[in-house]
């Protein structure tokens, strides 16, 4: 799969699996780890266009990327033509990402309710106007991530994808849910497939939604013909899912050599990097890793683990967390 714009060409190889942009999840430490695990491309947390224009420190920190992450995309969101175009220029000048992604899919009320993110699905005219303005403002390839439509009665993605393509975007990612679904129910990949199979679509189509295993990743490629896939919530506490997906797509064989001790060591590294790169100090890094530790399948089904799990999620320092992880390895992992 190639993402192209003029002389800019991003070659992601065959059947790429990408890390989805997720607020408070895809910081630099996690992006780098997923990249090391085999992610074909990684995306930043979304960043407010207005905050970028004002030079808000936290937002400027979010667009900081390292060469080790590349290819990497920075995602922006907003609802105003001029501010989105100006924010794209800021991202291009400050971060030099390989791609700039526009968020037309965030369903949360504080974003969509104000007309940004998935809220723009109710205003396709303005969505197209902003998208074209962003494309015209920068030389970097611009992509879009969106949803099937606002609700069950307005699944407009087939026509909308064509319209966004006409705005000059270089690829489109589609989450197989409407805004009203939020993250409930099952993702509908049939409409993602309909976009890909539309003969008028010439740009890469990337599918997103409910990819939680290597087998499901392959099914999405095989059944819907997408150019790439994007993995979101299934990466929480499981960055090695990219290693599993990549191995299966390339070899047709399941990867079964990842031991629990190896996976725990990956989570140790993630915690250490989270603290090292955190702008909120040691506790900020610890707070960030808690979501991953709470969701990690590594700790699911361990008997008599509740008390230790609580201690792990309440750790205040990296040393305390490392001690608890060592205790887990010595007293629990061998029981599985």
Could you give the CA distance from residue 227 to residue 3 in angstroms, rounded to a whole number?
A: 10
Could you give the CA distance from residue 205 to residue 172 in angstroms, rounded to a whole number?
A: 5
Cβ–Cβ < 8 Å for 43, 23? no
How far apart, in Å, are the Cα atoms of 41 and each of 62, 109, 143, 308?
17, 28, 13, 35
**Helical packing angle, 81-95 and 124-137, nearest 10°:** 30
Annotated catalytic residue, options 34, 106, 167, 220? 106
Which of 48, 141, 51 is CA-nearest to residue 97? 141
Residues with Cβ < 8 Å from 60, sequence gap 6 or more? 52, 94
Any idea what DSSP says for residue 21? P
Q: Is residue 106 among the annotated active site residues?
A: yes
DSSP 142-172: EEEEEES-SSGGG--HHHHHHHHHHTT-SEE
Cβ–Cβ < 8 Å for 140, 133? no
Residues with Cβ < 8 Å from 34, sequence gap 6 or more? 19, 42, 235, 239, 242
Any idea what DSSP says for residue 20? P
The catalytic residue positions are 106
């Amino acid at each position: 799969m190639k993402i192209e714009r003029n002389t800019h060409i991003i070659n992601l190889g065959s059947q790429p699996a990408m890390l989805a942009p997720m607020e408070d999840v895809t910081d630099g430490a996690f992006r780098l780890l997923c990249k090391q695990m085999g992610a074909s491309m990684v995306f930043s947390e979304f960043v407010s266009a207005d905050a970028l224009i004002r030079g808000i420190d936290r937002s400027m920190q979010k667009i900081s990327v390292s060469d080790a992450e590349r290819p990497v995309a920075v995602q922006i969101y907003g609802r105003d033509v001029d501010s989105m175009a100006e924010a794209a220029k800021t991202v291009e000048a400050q971060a030099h990402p390989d791609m700039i992604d526009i968020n037309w899919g965030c369903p949360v009320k504080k974003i969509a309710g104000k007309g940004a993110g998935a809220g723009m699905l109710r205003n396709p005219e303005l969505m197209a106007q902003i998208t074209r303005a962003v494309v015209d403002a920068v030389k970097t390839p611009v992509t879009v991530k969106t949803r099937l439509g606002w609700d069950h009665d307005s699944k407009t993605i087939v026509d909308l994808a064509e319209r966004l393509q006409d705005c000059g975007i270089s690829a489109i990612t589609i989450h197989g849910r409407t805004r009203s679904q939020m993250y409930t129910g099952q993702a509908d990949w049939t409409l993602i497939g309909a976009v890909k199979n539309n003969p008028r679509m010439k740009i890469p189509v990337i599918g997103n939604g409910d990819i939680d295993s290597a087998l499901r990743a392959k099914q999405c490629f095989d059944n819907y013909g997408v150019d790439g896939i994007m993995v979101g919530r299934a990466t929480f506490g499981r960055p090695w899912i990219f290693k599993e997906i990549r191995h299966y797509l390339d070899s047709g064989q399941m990867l079964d050599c990842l031991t629990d001790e190896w996976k725990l060591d990956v989570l140790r590294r993630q915690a250490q990097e989270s603290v090292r790169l955190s702008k909120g100090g040691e506790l900020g890094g610890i707070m960030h890793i808690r979501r991953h530790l709470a969701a990690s399948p590594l700790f699911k089904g361990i008997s008599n683990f509740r008390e230790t799990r609580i201690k792990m999620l309440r750790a205040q320092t990296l040393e305390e967390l490392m001690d608890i992880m060592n205790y887990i390895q010595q007293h629990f992992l061998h029981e599985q």
